[in-house]
Amino acid sequence: MSTNGENNDLKELKDSDTLNGTYKKTGYSSKGTKRLLTLDLIYSAIIGVLGGVISSLIPFSLLMKWYPFVGGTQLVSGHHVIWGSIIYGLTKNKKNIVLTMLSKGILEFLFGDPWGLLIIFVNVMEGVLLLLGFYIMEKLGEGKSKLGWGIAGAFGNFFQAPFFWIIQDRWYLHWSLWALAFIFALISGVLITGLLGRTIKDGLIKAGVPTTF
């Protein structure tokens, strides 16, 4: 009799652990916040590592060595932040943006980035600003639109330009070159971080990559 009761309990437990034939959601969450799933953590690690490898080993800036337009390399700088856009599109969990950028920054540091530990801070800063950009766009009802993604991408990518230029003491350059660098960073954020990131996200979803929302 007790055996039958145990079997019934196991059956009920199994039924509660599956939702319409899908696997049970695992992970952790804090009260009042969106649940962070194990798949979120896996995606954040994989995409962060991919971003770290590409950013460290592929010299995209060589494509834009424009002189006398100092700062022309900022036109491709958005590829550093696009990983945050992709993870946001696959999970709709803004916390994953920071996790992804953190793992990316740690890998870049381990690959011997010339900025040392500072590169981790820069990646986290970009992730937080991208998160803030998507948060604002969601509040304005543009979280899914191309406009919203473009603005969020620009917000996430723009501030690294003045940050690096200030710590490199480039005060000797004409103000117009500073303006060009910032404009290029803004454009790159819109086109690469935002719009290209949205396109890649859509392609991954159409290819059958599971989402967590």
Please report which helix (H) or strand (E) contains residue 37, including its range. Answer: strand 36-37
Residues whose CB is less than 8 angstroms from the CB of residue 106 and which lie 6 or more positions away in sequence, other chains included:
52, 120
DSSP structure class, residue 23? P
Confidence (pLDDT) at 2: 47
Peptide bond into 68 cis (omega under 30): yes
Confidence (pLDDT) at 120: 95
Taking the C-alpha atoms of residue 76 and residue 192, their distance in angstroms, rounded to an integer, is 8
Confidence (pLDDT) at 146: 96
Q: Are 90 and 209 in contact (CB under 8 A)?
A: yes
Query: Alpha carbon of 186 to those of 57, 115, 151, 159, 162: distances in Å?
Result: 24, 22, 9, 9, 11
Residues whose CB is less than 8 angstroms from the CB of residue 140 and which lie 6 or more positions away in sequence, other chains included:
148
- DSSP-derived pairing of the beta strands 36-37 and 27-28: antiparallel
The tens place of each residue's pLDDT in the chain, 213 residues long, gives: 445 554 554 444 444 444 344 544 544 444 445 677 888 999 999 999 999 999 888 877 666 666 556 777 888 889 999 999 999 999 999 999 999 999 999 999 999 888 899 999 999 999 999 999 999 999 999 999 999 999 999 999 999 888 988 888 888 888 888 888 899 999 999 999 999 999 999 999 999 999 988
